[in-house]
Structure 1
Amino acid sequence: MEILRIYESASGQKINTEKSSIFFSPNTSQERKDEIVSILGPMNDLRHAKYLGLPSIIGRSKKQIFAEIREKVGKKLAGWKGKLLSMGGKEILIKAVAQAIPSYTMSCFLLPMSLCEDLERDLRSFWWGQKQQESKVAWVGWKKMCKPKSLGGLGFRNLHAFNLALLAKQVWRIFTNPSSLAARILKAKYFPYEDILNAGLGSSPSFTWRSIFQSIEVIKNGTRWRVGNGRLIHIWEDKWLPTPSTFKVISPPRDFGDYPMVSSLIDQDTK
């Protein structure tokens, strides 16, 4: 209640308990529930299915939780199938509308691979002229169509790769803005003694962290260090050399004691 009071004082907004709800762990006794509700006010014991357009609780069946995305895409495709569209028109609709629908969810959660494949199957069928549920021959593989036009493709998105790219942006935000609230919460829980690029999955991770964790490798593969004082750069494990092949030191590791960082190679007296 003190936290709510401070929030109300700082923001000028008063909490409307009649429009607020609270949900408890299944292990919470009814006595404790009644006690908490009596303190907080007339709140309902209710679990909201969604918060800001995203599922608030992720169960075991991820595909079922995110099935609504496929339904939305399917409705769009169904509305377009009855129209006479050129191949150029279909391309624009797929890129600008159909493949954009899951973007918001993809920026927070890693969609199941099977769901991405189902979405791509629906888009492929629409592209090749499916009207109802009849099967159509796909004359070119979808992977080739996802290549850039300069390489002979059409530039469609590989949904799984695009999903990882969006989550990698979250990793980069956490890495470059460690003072943000999200970064501080995730660091305290999952990587308290290191940066996010060296974080582990941890025990009983949330689905949000599990999703972000899967994209860390994208950042590792696409970035390298710029040497400053060298205190955070590991000599052999990190990419910091200007050599384009590996950007890593390929010579056998030498003993630098407990501090094998690039800073140990820098002579501070040399100008």
Structure 2
Amino acid sequence: MFADDLLIFCKGNLESVVGVNTVLDKFYEMSGLKLNAAKCEFYASGISTNILEFITKATGFKQGCLPVRYLGVPLVTRKLSEKDCVVLIDNIKSRLYHWSGKLLSYAGRLELIRAVLFSVANYWCRQLFLPQSIIKKIEQLCSRFFWKGSDKAATGARVSWETICKPKHEGGLGLKDLKTWNKACMIQLIRSILAGEGSLWVAWINNYVLNDKDFSLIDSGTNTSWSFRKLLKLRREANAVYSTGATSIRAIWEVTRVKRDKVLWHNLIWFPLHIPKHSMIAWMAILDRLPTKVRLQHMGIVTDGLCVLCNESQETRDHMFIECPLASSV
């Protein structure tokens, strides 16, 4: 049960369904809260057509068909498909649409991606193994919004998305790589199974899937769901992570992510009380990704590469900030 969303499981016979209805009627007498049969659905498997008709007449519920969404995510036993994730992509696109008309700086777009778009994807990452194609689509949408401010092709992006997703001390902007984060979330689910407590899902896994068997030794059977088979394949990597003492998803992500060399200029631009817009420009300058005339000339956007200030030398990053006589005097 979550707020006004309630799932009730019972045996697939008329007696059990009538029993559930009787309990709900008793609840109505005590609380005054009555369910709306028109908004309720029941799902069945391996039950004859006659019994299904009896259940429909006895309850007034409609018979639903899987997959169905519950609390925003699809309930599926097979591999998650792109079709199942259309809601997630549409949710992100709708948020982008509302912000497309706003004149936001790179720093503002970065904070929106970090605070809102990634939180939407993060909710799914904590429940399911996301397909690689969906992860790429989310990253593409975020990249387009960051560079263009809308869902337009991010041609001419100054810095790759892979670099943006590095921590700041490694030369990036501190966003998380969704694929690695999704894996960290799944390793945390394995940790919950091994702990044997914490949620109804864990209790159900232990009683009906593991059946008192050791999770670290069990093999996947023919009736094992795709998601659970994926969890079983993660066991060896999960054990290596647990040996480091990582307990939270963030700590697990820190252990599993690919680490790069630290940059020497991290504290130069990401210092306390820095101005985000200025730090963003400095970051692009250090990576030599500012749209100087020489870079624009290489892209075929302009034909003249001379410095706009002195009109003597080629307008490169080093010339603009160091070598140009006017820049030196300033």
TM-score normalised by L of structure 2 = 0.57
Deviations 1:131-170 (A, max 9, x none): 4534421232222221110111111121111112122222
- Aligned residue in 2 for 1:192: 211
Residue 84 (1) aligns with residue 100 (2)? no
Q: Secondary structure at the match of 2:104?
A: coil
Q: Is the 8 A contact 2:147 2:157 kept in 1?
A: yes
Where does residue 24 of structure 1 map in the other structure?
A: 44
Sort the Cα spacing of 1:24 and 1:163 in 2 relative to 1 into closer, same or farther, 3 A. Answer: same
* C-alpha separation in 2, matches of 1:6 and 1:90: 51
Give the structure 1 partner of residue 180 of structure 2: 161
Q: Note if 1:128 corresponds to 2:147.
A: yes
Kindly indicate whether residue 59 of structure 2 is the aligned counterpart of residue 41 of structure 1: yes
Q: For 1:159-238, list aligned pairs within 5 A.
A: 159-178=178-197, 180-210=199-229, 212-213=231-232, 215-224=234-243
Q: Distance in 2 between matches of 1:172 and 1:152?
A: 32
Larger Rg: 2
AA partner of residue 22 (structure 1): F
Alpha-carbon spacing, 1:206–1:3, altered in 2? closer, same or farther (3 Å): farther
SS class of match (2:37): helix
Distance 2:79 2:194 in 1: 29
Q: Mind listing any 5+ residue stretches in structure 1 that lack a counterpart?
A: 227-271
Structure 1 CA distance, aligned partners of 2:80 and 2:231? 19
| TM-aligned CA distance change 1:8 to 1:203, over 3 Å | farther
Q: 1:51 aligns with which of 50, 66, 70?
A: 70
Matched, 1:96 2:150: no
1:74 to 82, 85, 93: 93
Cα distance in 2 for residues equivalent to 1:208 and 1:10: 36
Q: CA deviation at 1:121?
A: 1.1
The structural deviation recorded for 1:91 is: 1.2
Question: 1:158-184 CA distances to partner (integer Å, 9 max, x unpaired)?
Answer: 111111212222222222234853223
Q: TM-score, normalised by structure 1?
A: 0.68
Q: Does 1:114 align with 2:133?
A: yes
* Equivalent residue number for residue 302 of structure 2: none
Matched pairs, number = 224
Shift of 1:126: 1.7
Judging changes above 3 Å, is the alpha-carbon distance between structure 1 residues 187 and 61 closer, same or farther for their aligned structure 2 residues?
closer
Deviation of the 1:94 alpha carbon: 0.7
Structure 2: tracts of 5 or more residues without a match? 1-15, 246-330
Q: Is the 8 A contact 2:125 2:185 kept in 1?
A: yes
Pairwise CA distance, 1:116: 0.3
Q: Give the structure with the larger helix fraction.
A: 2
CA RMSD of aligned residues (A): 3.3
